[in-house]
Chain A
Amino acid sequence: MSNSILVIGGGIAGINCAMNAAKYGTKVYLVDDTPSIGGMMARLDKTFPTNDCSICIEAPQMYEVDNHENIEILTNTEVRKVNKVNGTFKVKLLQRAKYVDEEKCTGCGACVEACPVSVPDPLDGKVGGKRKLVSMAFPQAVPNVVTVDPGCRFGEMRKDGACIGECAVDCSQCRECPIALCVKACEKEGKKAITLWQSNKKLDLEVKSIVVATGIKNAPPTGDLLGYDKFENVITNTEFERLMNAGGPTSGEIIRPSDKKHAKKIAWIQCAGRGLAKEKGTPYCSKICCMVSAKQTIITKEHDASVEATIFYNDLKAYGKGFWEFYGKAKENDVQYVRGRPYEVFEDPETKNLTLRYEDLDTGELQMHEVELLVLATGIMANDRNKRLAKALKLKLDELGYFKEKDPLLSPLETEVDGVYLCGGATGPIDIAESVSQATAASMKAVSN
């Protein structure tokens, strides 16, 4: 019987689960369906309630996982089919081509510089910068290799000026490319790492346990929530996080999308979209958003103390250790907390400033508040990948789309399928510390199964 385990999801939960199991002496396959491990945390600027720099504390763990002899990292890889035979899981995976030889790529970036086409980076949404068709997920990516946009390879980017636009044959026909600038740049560096003719790979694994650590997703603002679709300067709190981040698209400058000027009046709306009709918003309290906004206001004030920061909220959640004090810190920094229910948002077509109409819950009066940048704390929802994965693993999802535990009270983190365990955002809205705690518990169950 196999003594290996499979961890699905390479965010902070998956990393910790893999690390603990590997240290214990168990062979671990750590699978992520994006080009790098790191997950949500790698995109954050700071973490509450200590304002630790997120990547500073996560990257050492990422490198440690990468260098551990018991861990094999498989990125760009999806779990497609799982069969349990005599207590062993036979897992079929699909590794999507990065069109890069991971063994050869050193992450030097010569190809990125050579690439002539920049496209909007959808990951950062409205504040997003641009990325090249060949790019690194983020500078600390593990594995530290580039990925070529498949659209480029399939010729979809021809109209955008991709360099292989004139090619007569499909990339899969060649073993060398006379045209592509990235291929040339790589060859000039003496490497032949870019392989546009690479195809997706099917992988088979046998493991004794599986840990699902697929994470959460940021709830999208649907149905023109508070003007998000119409007005440039209405952004989500995830997008704001990227604005704050020195490694983000604006190098940490808190500038608004419309005119790239520093925003001096900013408001945050808590529970944005909460309680709206199905498919339109988050139906519950996502737990972390109050602290996320407290953090964002504190950091904004650190950037520029003269910024007016206001938080519109209803119930304040300060559920964890040091969180209440953190909220106190925001207030000390002159962040205004207003209990209010937002109704609508108008834009001044000239200044692109926004006016929020809201009910002050303390007085019951209707009020107006004008800002230069409006941030929506839209909450957290179950990840889209859960559905397909649940099918492959023969697991059940709850009505909110999170994985169901067999008995959350008496056998926490266990599922209906013996040997399959859960941790982190796969179980519900959760913060980093709780994810790490659950991941450690899940690793205990997985190695001793």
Chain B
Amino acid sequence: MGDEDIKIGVFVCDCGTNIAGVVDVPAVVKYARGLEHVVLADEGRWSCSVDYLSKMQDLIRENKINRVVVASCTPRTHEPLFKRTTKEAGVNPYLLEFVSIREQVSWVHMKEPAIATEKAKDLVKMGVAKAALLEEGQEIRLPVKTDCLIIGGGMAGMNAALSVADQGFNATIVEKEPQLGGLLNQICFISHDNHKRPAARVVQAKAEQVQSHPQITVFVDTQVETVEGYIGNYKVALKSNGNVSPQKLDISTIIVATGMQEIKPEGQFEYGNDPRVITQLQLDNKLRNKHLRNVKNVVMVSCVNSKNESRGCCNIGCHTAVKNAIAIKHLCQEASVHILYRDMSLIKEEGTAQQLAKRLGVKFLRFPDDRYPEVRKENGDLKIKVYDLLVGKEFELSSDLIVLTTAFKGNASVGQVKGLLKVSTNPDGFFQESHVKLGPLEFATDGVSLGGCAKAPMTFKESSEAGIGSAMKASIPMQKGYIETEGIVADIDLTDCSQCGLCSKRCPYSAIKVDEEENPEVIKALCKGCGLCAADCPNECIGIVHYSDDQVFAQVEAALEESAEKKIIAYVCHWCALGGVDMAGVSRLQYPSNARLIRVMCSARVSMKMMQRPFELGAAGVLVAGCEFPTCHYIEGNYAAEKRLKRAHKKLAKAGFDPEKLWNVWCSAADGPKFANTMRTMISELKLE
């Protein structure tokens, strides 16, 4: 499209008196009419009302408008509405630019109508300048078929497979052991609240269901050897008994359910030196196989290898110890059972199990965090010395069976699976989920979900639920037949690419693949549009749709055309920082009006050049505002931004600019005061009052 064809329509909203009560909207509209490419500017009393939206569509059609600028409230809540309206009027929704003159102007400069009006004009000018450069975009789809690979055939994996298969999708379970069931194959009873079931029967029933399901294929004694590709398009090779299958499987989605393993406490508490010192899992095995006879004095020690510098609470130890103590009491009523513990971590009705144990005569004895019990052998007898915190005395117990409640770590295959799928793990050998709170069942990489104890130690019930949940995550794209992302994605121009591979390495979503000729390629459906790669690319060959360098610079130039020396360019991330800006608006916090905000999806999008360009044009200051740590909508974009800011300070100094004028703020979406205060401090420190 040539320049002369660009027809921009500007729609300025009164928001009743919310905007028009402060900003001289007719003046802004008049000003907009004078801007290049603008063929129409209109004032709407309530732009978001059904009446005005349909008027807007008529105006767009009548005037053959092909770029739309809406100046109103905040894109965080209203952009989807105006995008839909624009689309229905026949204009590609990526050709809409949203300008916020309520939250960023009228609500925060209520007492300065003239200044507010000038700022609103500036923001509209910036919006128009960007709109002229906008390019059409579209949602990107990637087809996804219905073949799901489940790595791990424990309870989480089997539950996941059944959930997937029950919808008519194909599930393939790969289990490295000779039989399905995982850790449950070593456990006697499972329990929850007052329910109790023999583990062997649970496994048997589940395994039968799995094996007889027509949509499920099970490979035991098998491991995943290689994985290539991405969601909808994986090629997976398996290895059984040392032989790699020549035929690769076509896989659409992957569920990781590799489970966990007990850490063997070799050398601690005489474990390994004396067969009478065992772990809880070994005790479970003995109970299961009815190998426990004639024990007289059982002592359990909790928190072995957990709650120390390298490892946290094992999550399930207290519950397991109480469960097994009850089992021993039921088996040999005469046996004395002691549980030596630091904290009893029993939730809700697990507490009633402890009461039952106490009624059955199990003794609970608390030892200090820094004074673990000691085990020694005397004339072949096991003695255990423990300091009882509640009584304040040291005791020595004789024992013929010491059970250590040890911590767990991720399965032995974690390292290999991590390498194959390029997902993250924690230092203790568990997989790292995409978000600790809101993404417990998935990885940052699309198409790979996470179930069961591969994430962290869980009870049987939690693990089953996580398995079913991970199946939902895998099923959504299989049911739809595709994944779709907003068209705000990275685009690499290979002309100047030096094949350094930085973009591929840095992408938090594994969305950039390097092909055989070492050329990077964006798998657009996997790209989330954060812009980290674009800002970091040393040769500037990556563009981000809707946030290209040109578009951002056009905004900067428009903002600084007049009185640059008084203005601050503030790059604000769409998620939290803009949330903070909006919150300041909603709370009517009044702050100085010098800043011109430029929205980016993530603070990581702000390149060195973007930080420097405003200074070249004479700006008084630059602010980069991103999410408060550790929150980031793009995993850790704000960390990348912080690092870059440090480098930018040095670079600015070298280029002859005052690095003290480059500011940053990490602001939560609830923290309006923080943003407002930053504005006030900047103005006073930069002496702009």
Contacts and interface: CB of A to CB of B under 8 A. Distances in A.
Interface of A: 12, 16, 20, 23-25, 45, 47, 49-61, 63, 67, 103-104, 106, 108-110, 139-140, 144, 188-191, 245-247, 251-252, 284-287, 315-325, 361-364, 398, 400, 407-410, 412-413, 428-429, 432-434, 436-441, 443-445, 447-448
Nearest to B369: A316
B517 to A, nearest CB: 36
A444 B45 contact: no
Given A108-B16, A444-B475, A321 B347 contact: no
B1 interface: no
Contacts of A109: 18, 586
Interface stretch (B211-219, B338-346, B395-403): B338-346
Nearest to B481: A25
A439 B473 CA distance: 11
21 contacts: A20-B476, A52-B437, A53-B669, A67-B80, A106-B48, A108-B15, A190-B16, A247-B583, A284-B349, A286-B347, A317-B347, A318-B307, A320-B456, A325-B312, A409-B197, A434-B440, A436-B438, A437-B469, A440-B469, A444-B469, A445-B468
Contacts of A433: 436-438, 440
A321 B476 contact: no
Interface of A is mostly: loop
A317 B343 contact: yes
Contact of B631 (A45, A56, A321, A444): A56
A39 B470 CA distance: 24
Contact of A57 (B163, B461, B583, B631): B631
Contacts of B349: 284, 400
A429 B670 contact: no
Interface of B: 15-18, 45-46, 48-50, 76-77, 80, 163, 166-167, 190-193, 195, 197, 202, 205, 306-307, 311-313, 315, 343-351, 368, 389-390, 392, 426, 430, 435-441, 455-456, 460-462, 464-473, 475-476, 479-480, 575-576, 579, 582-583, 586-587, 627-628, 630-631, 633, 668-674
A261 B441 CA distance: 44
Contacts of B190: 409
Contacts of B456: 320-321
Nearest to B72: A106
A25 B479 contact: yes
Given A56-B576, A440-B473, 15 more contacts: A20-B476, A23-B480, A24-B472, A58-B438, A60-B633, A61-B438, A106-B48, A139-B587, A285-B348, A287-B347, A315-B345, A317-B313, A323-B312, A440-B469, A441-B468
Contacts of B671: 53, 246-247, 252
B197 A410 contact: yes
Given A24-B472, A51-B630, A412 B166 contact: no
Nearest to B629: A51
Contacts of A56: 575-576, 579, 627-628, 631, 668-670
Nearest to A445: B468
A189 B594 CA distance: 29
B670 A55 contact: yes
Contacts of B668: 53, 55-56, 246
Contacts of B17: 110, 188-189
Contact of A429 (B312, B348, B436, B672): B348
B189 to A, nearest CB: 10
A23 B668 CA distance: 28
Nearest to B206: A410
A228 to B, nearest CB: 24
B389 A285 contact: no
A50 B668 CA distance: 14
A323 B480 contact: no
Given A67-B80, A428-B348, A440-B472, A448 B163 contact: yes
Contacts of A364: 392
Contacts of B166: 448
Contacts of B313: 317-320, 323-324
Given A321-B312, A364-B392, A408-B461, A432 B575 contact: no
B460 A321 contact: no
B449 to A, nearest CB: 9
Contact of A436 (B45, B437, B455): B437
B48 to A, nearest CB: 6
Contact of A190 (B45, B167, B351): B45
Given A56-B627, A318-B307, A444-B468, A108 B670 contact: no
Given A318-B307, A408-B192, A437-B469, A110 B344 contact: no
B436, B462, B470, B674, most chain A CB atoms within 10 A: B436
Nearest to A413: B465
Nearest to B576: A56
A448 B672 CA distance: 43
A49 B436 contact: yes
A55 B384 CA distance: 51
B576 A53 contact: yes
A104 B350 CA distance: 51
Given A246-B674, A285-B347, A361-B390, A432 B438 contact: yes
A415 B630 CA distance: 38
Contacts of A285: 345-348, 350-351
B77 A438 contact: no
A179 B587 CA distance: 27
Contact of A443 (B197, B472, B586): B472
A190 B461 CA distance: 55
Given A190-B45, A191-B16, A321-B436, A315 B343 contact: yes
Report the 5 A-B pairs with minimum CB-CB distance, sorted nearest first: A189-B16, A324-B312, A53-B668, A440-B469, A444-B472
A171 B295 CA distance: 78
A317 B346 CA distance: 8
B599 to A, nearest CB: 15
Contacts of A54: 670
A139 to B, nearest CB: 4
Contacts of A317: 313, 343, 345, 347
A409 B349 CA distance: 14
Contacts of B426: 321
A16 B472 CA distance: 12
A59 B438 CA distance: 12
Contacts of B473: 20, 440
B519 to A, nearest CB: 33
A252 B587 CA distance: 13
Nearest to B449: A440
Given A440-B441, A444-B472, A110 B348 contact: no
Contact of B437 (A47, A284, A363, A407): A47
A83 to B, nearest CB: 27
Given A56-B576, A409-B192, A429 B465 contact: no
A275 B684 CA distance: 56
A262 to B, nearest CB: 15
A240 to B, nearest CB: 16
B208 to A, nearest CB: 13
Given A63-B76, A188-B16, A429-B348, A441 B45 contact: no
A45 B349 CA distance: 29
Contacts of A412: 461, 464-465, 468
A409 B460 contact: yes
A381 to B, nearest CB: 11
A168 B139 CA distance: 57
Nearest to B19: A108
A61 B437 CA distance: 12
B436 A104 contact: no
Contact of A434 (B48, B462, B582, B673): B462
A12 B440 CA distance: 13
Nearest to A408: B192
Contacts of B346: 285
B60 to A, nearest CB: 22
Nearest to A103: B50
Given A51-B630, A191-B16, A319 B347 contact: yes
A50 B436 contact: yes
